[in-house]
Amino acid sequence: MITSTSTSRSLRSDITFAFALALACYVAWLARRVLFLLYVSALFAVVLQPLVQFIARLRIGRFYPFRRVAILILLAAVIGGLVIFGFLALPPIIRDLQEFGRQMPQRLPGIMDRLKSFPLASRIDVSGLFARLQDFAGQSATYLLLSVKNWASSLFTIAMGLILTIYFTLEGDVAYRWGLSFFPPESRERLDLALRRAEIRMGKWLIGQSCLMLILGMTSTVVYLALHVRYAYALGVLSGLLNIIPVLGATVSIVLALLAAAVDSWGRVLGVAVFYLVYLQLENSYLTPRIMRSSVGLPGLAIIVALLLGSALEGILGALVSVPTAVLVTVLIDEYFVKSPQSPA
Residue 46 is assigned to a structural domain of this protein: yes
Residue 150 is assigned to a structural domain of this protein: yes
The pLDDT assigned to 126 comes to 52
Alpha carbons 137 and 144: distance in angstroms, whole number? 10
Residue 147 is assigned to a structural domain of this protein: yes
Residue 276 is assigned to a structural domain of this protein: yes
Say whether both 276 and 306 belong to one domain. Answer: yes
Residue 5 is assigned to a structural domain of this protein: no
* Host domain of residue 166: 31-102+137-182
- CA angle at residue 166 from 165 to 167, to 5 degrees? 90
Say whether both 198 and 333 belong to one domain. Answer: yes
- Nearest partner of 324 among 70, 75, 45, judged by Cα: 45
Say whether both 170 and 37 belong to one domain. Answer: yes
Say whether both 246 and 162 belong to one domain. Answer: no
Say whether both 220 and 336 belong to one domain. Answer: yes
Say whether both 177 and 214 belong to one domain. Answer: no
The pLDDT assigned to 131 comes to 55
The pLDDT assigned to 219 comes to 92
Residue 17 is assigned to a structural domain of this protein: no
The pLDDT assigned to 182 comes to 83
The pLDDT assigned to 203 comes to 80
The pLDDT assigned to 61 comes to 65
Residue 12 is assigned to a structural domain of this protein: no
pLDDT digits (tens, 9 = 90+) for 17-71: 788 888 888 888 888 888 888 888 888 888 888 787 777 777 766 666 677 777 7
Say whether both 236 and 305 belong to one domain. Answer: yes
Digit-by-digit pLDDT tens for the chain (345 residues) are: 455 566 666 777 777 878 888 888 888 888 888 888 888 888 888 888 878 777 777 776 666 667 777 778 788 887 888 788 777 777 777 777 677 667 666 665 665 565 555 555 555 555 555 556 555 555 555 555 555 566 667 777 778 888 888 888 888 888 888 888 888 887 888 888 888 888 888 888 888 888 888 998 899 999 999 988 888 888 888 888 888 876 677 788 888 888 888 877 888 889 999 999 998 888 877 887 777 777 777 777 777 788 888 888 877 778 888 888 888 888 888 888 876 554 444
DSSP string for residues in 211-249? HHHHHHHHHHHHHHHHHT-TTHHHHHHHHHHHTTSTTHH
Domain closes at, from 182, 213, 237: 182
Say whether both 161 and 232 belong to one domain. Answer: no
pTM of the model: 0.69
Say whether both 231 and 143 belong to one domain. Answer: no
The pLDDT assigned to 343 comes to 46
Mean pLDDT across the chain, nearest whole number? 77
Say whether both 191 and 328 belong to one domain. Answer: yes
Q: Could you tell me if 196 and 188 are in contact, meaning their C-beta atoms sit under 8 angstroms apart?
A: no
Domain closes at, from 182, 217, 248: 182
The pLDDT assigned to 116 comes to 58
Say whether both 74 and 219 belong to one domain. Answer: no
Alpha carbons 280 and 259: distance in angstroms, whole number? 19
CA dihedral 145, 146, 150, 153 (to 10 degrees): 70
| Number of independent structural domains in the chain | 2
Residue 127 is assigned to a structural domain of this protein: no
Say whether both 58 and 75 belong to one domain. Answer: yes
